[in-house]
Chain A
Amino acid sequence: MGKFSKPASSVKLDTDPYGYITKSKKIKKDPFRGIGRDTLISNLFKTSYSKWESNICKKNEQEAAMERGYMGRILMVDLTKGECIEEKIPDELYEYYLSGTGLAAKILYDRIPARADPLGPDNILGFVSGLLTGTGSMMTGRWMVVGKSPLTGTWGDANCGGSFSPAIKRCGYDGIFFHGISKKPVYLYVGNRTAELRDASLLWGKDAVETEEILIQQNDEHGKKPKIVCIGQSGEKISLISGISNDRGRMAARSGLGAVMGSKKLKAVVCAGNLRIGAADRDQVHHLSRKFNEFIMQPTPNISAKVLLWAGKILGMLPIAFAMDGSATRIIMRKWGTVGVNQMSVEMGDTPIKNWMGSPRDWGSKKSASVNPDHIVKREREKYHCYACPVGCGGICATTGKYKETHKPEYETCLALSGFCMNDDTESIYYLNEILNRAGMDTISAGATVAFAIECFERGVLTKDDTNGLELRWGNTEAIKDLLEKMIAREGIGDVLADGTKKAAEKIGKGSMEWAVHAGGQEPAMHDGRNDPGFALHYSVEPTPGRHTIGSFQYYELFQLWSKIPSLPRVKPISTKNSRYRVTDEQIIQAAALSRFINVVNGSGMCLMGVSMGISRIPVFEWLNAVTGWSKDPEEYMLIGERIQTIKQAFNIKHGIEPRDMKISDRALGLPKLQEGPNKGRSVDIDLFMSKYWDYFGWDPQTGKPTHETMNRLNLGA
């Protein structure tokens, strides 16, 4: 355990006979236990001061924390004992890891014992806010959930917008962490630096939207609506593809962390604080924000989705690729949201079709009209903005049937539930989006698992006897709906499939693993690595495998990192598609830069769509300096990103993960090659990519393990 990780004082909450906490009081703990020698000396020095002097010292610490964007504290909840301990985090730790997933990576690396069961009491589940959240900077309202993933056994994190991120900080904490397992279902109520575990027996079994409604009603006594994250039935039933919801179904869906929450019998976290979040130079933050907002608020050209569809068709056919520019991201996000690229991505070969076997020839523009962006936006009743977002890419859509409205389905959801399963029924996508959000099941993994099951059925490995009578054929909407309902309820065949493709293939056997496309157990998203090998690389090499929100060569073009970091290579405006598949040093530099940069983004609580507009437009590094009062240059922030990336990889090594095993399945790498469509004949030499990437980071190029020299260079200890 590092020298920063022990509290000097703590808040402990008394428990009642049932293990639920009723009131709080401050207790003094042994301030020297487990603390390194240097800290010990400094603590001895502090405690020898008079009461007056220690009060001054406390004030200064508080002021320092208030003016640097972070709150300087975390809350650690022991669900087994029913105890909540508040811990101070020293400034140095923020300078080393920022906040968000960076700070969380340090805490989880130190405290989760090696090879701990992800669904056992030793796993730690954390909800963290970003360093920039609540400081007046824009598009910085992402909250992140972290833990050891039960789906992959690796470092797990998931990221979500909504309104929960500032709510964590307004309670006085940068993160709320849970370990242990409660005997009964509970939820945590957090106020202004107070916390209380409450009985959630009556909430158990309710879906995420119902849970949120009830908890808002119960905890609305102070005027300000509390912000809530919770699991639905899927997390309760420990489905390994379940996520965590906020704002009526916005999901932190990946890594299966909803199952960790379910395993801990933790139904929800309610944040009802109203403390202030400081910034070192709020005027400068606002100045930068206004400039960025001017860019966002420019009028959007009135183009139809057909233009994008045809652009996709042309790009798919051409042997050359054009470098993308972030100004297009602004137009697409503002007008349609992520669904804007639905049909374009299919046509250009970015979207995998029919469980990675198909192409636009199988699911052309007539079928993809079911996810036409213009039609989806017509259904939009109102725009939805996450916290601190001027774009408003989300929306609330009207639906027919049991539920009256749903969050506008995202690109990933639309394509995972349509083209991936060959389903062209529009109405079913809204319905499935809503039931999966309410149950708290990841729409990407759920769609991918359904496609896998259909392929098993079509190939005769699954029969009607196995599927409880379901005729699992490509595009059979009713069967897809029934199957997903069974997966949520874990009934019959649904129970076999509720843990994702890899676990399902292990249970089904008969060679079905060949059709289960995953990276380390997690289903990759709806971006094809055969079209952009950068996706295949990041799906395979990241400490959280199978994630699409970290890097690709397209992201490198959009982020325009070279505009702030001159040592990074610029991209050519036009290049041949063939050049993308050659493993060059330049490509590795680009991939490593993206991994480092995304750790800074996730430490700051920034939105990927924001940085996709290009960092010459969204002032990430300038905001960080203005908020914290630091004067770091972008290279220094990238070093922090490298440190976070390495500690996450070290986390995996500590837990017995062999990084080479995280490689994405052959089919998604073009083995065998597709016979038609934009990705015809494409394959990716992923082994060489992986080795070169690891080598660049100073990890062993054969095993992917960070070397002692690298750990020492990054002050991570060997």
Chain B
Amino acid sequence: MMSRHHSGAYANGYPRAKTFEISPHRFQPRASTPATRRRRKLLIRLGIFATLAILFGLFVWPGSNTIVSIFSLGLVSANNDVVMDTVRYYDLSNVQGTARGWEREERILLCVPLRDAEPHLAMMFSHLHNFTYPHHLIDLAFLVSDSKDRTLEVLVDRLEALQADEDPKQPYGEISIIEKDFGQKVEQDVESRHGFAAQASRRKLMAQARNWLLSAALRPYHSWVYWRDVDVETAPFTILEDLMRHNKDVIVPNVWRPLPDWLGGEQPYDLNSWQESETALALADTLDEDAVIVEGYAEYATWRPHLAYLRDPYGDPDMEMEIDGVGGVSILAKAKVFRSGVHFPAFSFEKHAETEGFGKMAKRMQYSVVGLPHYTIWHLYEPSVDDIKHMEEMEQERKAKEQEEKQKTEKEKKIKEQFSDASSQWEKDKTEIQNLAKQEPKKEGKQDTKKEAKADAKKGSTSEDKKTTGEGAEDDSNTESKSKSKDDSDKVSEKPAKDQAKKVES
């Protein structure tokens, strides 16, 4: 505080004019003026703090509509509320898709086409459970077509359970199940599915199903669309973020499948992700308008570089490769790609259909189409008819081997039994002989008999030892052969699971 002495005339609030009064220092009730002024000052300060607090509060909690609505806009929006139910306004430039979608709350539409997929649903839901992308930002869309099993019922049950999950992070956004039968005659088993002759029409039907699903489920608020097959066995939980980070219009990982050891352990699965080659383009020119080139068949030698074959298990998972055709097992695409009209051609588009045609069409519209050769997900291994035959043979072989082993052990056992019999016989014989021998030299000294008895006992104990050790060895070999046979069966039936574990680690 300043000393009152100096500030006197000016600090106490007297008007300047009063300086010219004759007695400026006559008595004044000085205490009163500063008091009111101090009060005013205090009020102003309080006011400033209050407005500051309100403003700060407004900015910190902009969502609290009660405060916002005080200012003008409340009236407008209240008026519009009646109309709001039927009118929607969307700005599509807000949903273009960015590299860090989870931070901008970008919504993903996850599309899964299903047909006779009941056995795979459990696996799929375990994947749904594990996605790290915020679940409430993911809308699920399923197309159930021409299913003869209980796919639909199981799906509905599981989805309802998922949505009712206690963990608030589990339930997904909007869920739609679309039913549509296309009257497909094509069987879904592995043989007919992958036979060359059936490919073109099968691919066109698949494309149709995908288009129906997408056109029914895509909304103006989706930024991304993720296509996922139901029979993916192993995939990283972070796959959505991992693919999104690349910020490409269309992106696919590498798809392999685990195999039993006798088939080499693992194998490229999805051959639909490839780069165009001169040979294939020349081939395409020779085919008629409705022909569809399909990959992985000897009939069409295209010499294209396939994403699948370029995998290096220790390669950089972020490495990108430009591709022209894409496989449909796991596609992440910006929703704007689909909005602008790119779809899965159910006709021969540049001699390709379905996902490969999709890649071609996206390229045609100058979108970036990229594959990640060293980022791998694993498709379920379904043994083919040949594989099953081979496995049956192996099983028989194994059984025969087991049988042989059993016989062998039995034989050994028998031999041993006989041996132990012989030894006891020998023992008996021995004692008899000894008895005889005792009787003969009875007249000899007592000490001798004692000695003999001692030796006798010694012999007996050693033979007993021998017996027990022999039996122990026999037991060991038995268990060993058993565990061995168990190992064999493990190898056949549980190999994929083991591989899976391996993959998770890698």
User: Do chains A and B stick together as partners?
Assistant: no
**A residues near B, CB below 8 A?**
none
**B residues near A, CB below 8 A?**
none
